[in-house]
């Protein structure tokens, strides 16, 4: 049996899914999209039940990737039963989606979650009356305390029913639906979708278009607006019949502070900086432990062993790749997702997005993009993975470009270890300033040239809650497992490939070929090209490789301060590390990964060339 969990964002659907399936879940990417689907299995009466956690949506006739995906899966009859999870404290808004699901004539169980919060707000819901009105069983739950969660699967498997409620649409809509059903033989729901231009039947869409134009001329408004108005009215009528109010004192509590520009924005900055510092320091500490362990127990013994040179190179490349993945990306990714899960489960994520939404509009983005942008300072890998929460493909594309330019902690190692130490603190800070300006300019340009729909942000601000430790750990594990499965294999293959290039002398050839450009355009010594190439594997390896090739840790003995500044600037802007490229490929596709790689290479070389030209024009520097 297959059960699909469907509902609005922030209704506790994922927590219910976690209760039902535990941590034995699978993450799959739906073909043709960047949307991930979580699925797991529960056992009921010795029979397996497959449960799928569908992306949170507000409507089945929307235009986002998530809405199209869920609609297609429902239309395809993917699930035997749909469990519609609703927020009992905001029933009217949630009923809109339930009414749409009922139109698809599939067995449904309605779960009114957050019953405890509804009661605190003075709302009492008559589930018997609601069940009688819509024709499907209704269950009150409170996922945060586990109330009635165990009853969901038995009710869904034994008592789920096809709804009997029909939204009373405008008479012109009803007449149009009857006409389309009679002429084209389409179902009621297919006819309603066709009137909105949704569907695959060309003949039905053509007929519906003609009728829709007549309706729009009669009503002076688009058909989707008419349908939405009718559904909202029906939801309001149902709520009026099933919800009883008791007087409670209205209190906004912390939201009086968190949602106001002051002190909301300073609080947001403090929380984001705290998250960033936590990701940086915890990740750095774990990185040092893991890297030291690899050096002590694997790399040093390997270097001391008398092995065939080719075997040594292959083993070294393999070990250094594992060290890079587990020592650099893993601590930052896992720490990031632990903190991100806490922020999401408390409900504060929506408040952050609300506060910065207006500013982000200038860059073609919405407020949700601020989280991955800031956390990219810790590591670009989890930041790229976090853009899934951003609404449209256009916005995710812009965010991916900008995030890869954010100086992560590994790039900070280059800036601090080379520029701050050998050139000066102000010079190091100037690199951050240059990068910040380039991000702003790139965002403004991308917002103008990137095609696609830019939607307004309709954001529900959920109540503040205490996060569930089990849910936080579950989410973090799901995402880190995905990183280990997707990014690590590509990292290993790339490391071995670079190792073989060095073993067979191809890197020497590359140095010889790139020498005119490195020296003439960037003003760098030829061996800098090899350091930049190794920086693709791990950003701070550009620094480490430069020291090895220079033959001394005192880099000012072999390079001028200007050369060190240019090298740090180029390597910071240069193509992202292989882990980031792998995640870009996974999240955005090969085309976007190649576009970003080419853009950052061009950006890095252009910035370095301009600095070199400026120093030539100003000999006193």
Binding residues for GTP: 7-14, 32-36, 53-56, 113-116
Q: Angle 153-1-147 (CA atoms, 0-180°, nearest 5)?
A: 10
Long-range Cβ contact pairs of 319-323 (< 8 A, separation 24 or more): 319/294, 320/495, 320/537, 321/488, 321/491, 321/492, 321/494, 321/495, 321/496, 321/537, 322/294, 322/488, 322/492, 323/290, 323/291, 323/294, 323/298, 323/299
Contacts of 82 (CB under 8 A, 6+ apart): 3, 4, 6, 74, 101, 106, 107, 108, 109, 160
Which residue matches tokens 């979708």? 193
β-bridge pairing 107-113 and 81-87: parallel
Phi first, then psi: give them for residue 52, nearest 5 degrees.
-120, 130
In three-state form (DSSP H/G/I as H, E/B as E, the rest C), the secondary structure along 558-570 is CCCHHHHHHHHHH
Residue 600: other Cβ atoms inside 10 A: 19
Long-range Cβ contact pairs of 438-443 (< 8 A, separation 24 or more): 438/405, 438/573, 438/603, 438/607, 439/402, 439/405, 439/406, 440/363, 442/401, 442/402, 442/405, 442/603, 443/362, 443/363, 443/364, 443/365, 443/398, 443/402
Nearest CA to 74 among 130, 169, 153, 2?
Answer: 2
Phi-psi region of 199 (alpha: psi -120 to 50; beta: other; left: phi over 0): left
Cβ contact 326:289 at 8 Å: no
* Cα 271 from Cα 334, distance rounded (Å): 18
Binding-site residue ranges: 7-14, 21-22, 32-36, 53-56, 113-116
Binding-site residue ranges for Mg(2+): 21-22
DSSP state of 367: G
β-bridge pairing 107-113 and 25-29: unpaired
Q: Where are the beta strands (DSSP E) in 453-605?
A: none
Give the ranges where 255-405 is alpha helix by DSSP (H). Answer: 255-258, 261-294, 300-304, 309-324, 330-346, 348-360, 370-375, 380-385, 393-403
Q: Is the dihedral of CA 482, 601, 316, 335 positive or negative?
A: negative
- 3-state SS assignment for residue 243: strand
* Cα 517 from Cα 528, distance rounded (Å): 11
């Amino acid at each position: 049996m297959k059960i699909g969990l469907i509902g609005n964002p922030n209704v506790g659907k994922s927590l219910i899914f976690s209760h039902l399936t535990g941590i034995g879940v699978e993450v799959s990417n739906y073909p043709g999209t960047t949307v991930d689907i979580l699925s797991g299995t529960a056992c009921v009466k010795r029979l397996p039940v497959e449960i799928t956690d569908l992306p949170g949506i507000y409507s089945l006739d929307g235009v986002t990737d998530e809405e199209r995906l869920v609609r297609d899966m429902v239309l395809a009859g993917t699930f035997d039963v749909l469990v519609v999870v609703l927020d009992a404290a905001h029933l009217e808004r949630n009923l809109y989606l339930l009414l749409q699901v009922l139109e698809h004539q599939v067995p449904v169980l309605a779960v009114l979650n957050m019953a405890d919060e509804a009661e605190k707000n003075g709302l009492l819901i008559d589930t018997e009356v609601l069940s009688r009105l819509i024709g499907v069983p209704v269950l009150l739950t409170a996922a945060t305390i586990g109330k009635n969660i165990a009853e969901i699967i038995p009710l869904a498997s034994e008592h789920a029913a096809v709804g009997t409620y029909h939204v009373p649409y405008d008479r012109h809509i009803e007449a149009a639906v009857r006409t389309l059903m009679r002429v084209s033989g389409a179902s009621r729901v297919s006819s309603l979708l066709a009137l909105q231009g949704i569907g695959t039947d060309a003949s039905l869409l053509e007929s519906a278009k003609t009728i829709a134009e007549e309706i729009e001329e009669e009503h002076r408004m688009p058909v989707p607006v008419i349908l939405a108005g009718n559904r909202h009215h029906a939801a309001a009528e149902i709520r009026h019949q099933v919800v009883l109010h008791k007087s409670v004192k209205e209190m906004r509590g912390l939201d009086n502070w968190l949602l106001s520009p002051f002190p909301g924005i300073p609080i947001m900055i403090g929380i984001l900086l705290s998250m960033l510092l936590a990701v940086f320091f915890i990740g750095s500490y774990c990185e040092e432990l893991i890297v030291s362990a690899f050096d002590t127990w694997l790399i040093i013994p390997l270097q001391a062993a008398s092995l065939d040179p080719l075997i040594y190179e292959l083993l070294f490349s393999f070990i250094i790749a594992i060290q890079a993945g587990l020592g650099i990306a893993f601590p930052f990714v896992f720490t990031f997702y632990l903190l991100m899960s806490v922020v999401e489960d408390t409900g504060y994520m929506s408040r952050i997005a609300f506060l910065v939404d207006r500013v982000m509009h200038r860059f073609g983005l919405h407020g949700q993009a601020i989280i991955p942008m800031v956390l990219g300072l810790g590591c670009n890998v989890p930041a790229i993975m976090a853009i899934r929460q951003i609404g449209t493909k256009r916005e995710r594309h812009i965010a991916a470009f900008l995030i890869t330019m954010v100086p992560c902690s590994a790039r900070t190692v280059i800036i601090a270890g080379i520029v701050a130490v050998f050139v000066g603190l102000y010079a190091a800070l100037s690199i951050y300033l240059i990068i910040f300006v380039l991000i702003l300019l790139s965002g403004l340009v991308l917002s103008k040239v990137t095609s696609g729909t830019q939607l307004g942000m309709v954001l529900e601000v959920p109540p503040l809650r205490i996060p569930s430790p089990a849910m936080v750990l579950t989410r973090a594990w799901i995402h880190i497992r995905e990183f280990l499965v997707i990014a690590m294999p590509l990292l290993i293959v790339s490391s071995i490939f670079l190792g073989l290039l060095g073993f067979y002398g191809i890197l020497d050839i590359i140095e010889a070929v790139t020498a005119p450009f490195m020296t003439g355009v960037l003003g760098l010594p030829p061996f800098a090209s090899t350091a930049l190439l190794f920086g693709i594997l791990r950003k701070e390896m550009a620094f480490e490789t430069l020291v090895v090739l220079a033959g001394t840790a005192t880099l000012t003995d072999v390079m001028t301060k200007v050369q060190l500044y240019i090298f740090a600037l180029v390597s910071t802007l240069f193509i992202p590390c292989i882990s980031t490229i792998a995640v870009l490929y996974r999240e955005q596709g090969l085309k976007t990964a190649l576009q970003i790689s080419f853009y950052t290479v061009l950006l890095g070389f252009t910035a370095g060339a301009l600095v070199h030209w400026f120093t030539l024009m100003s000999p006193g520097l």
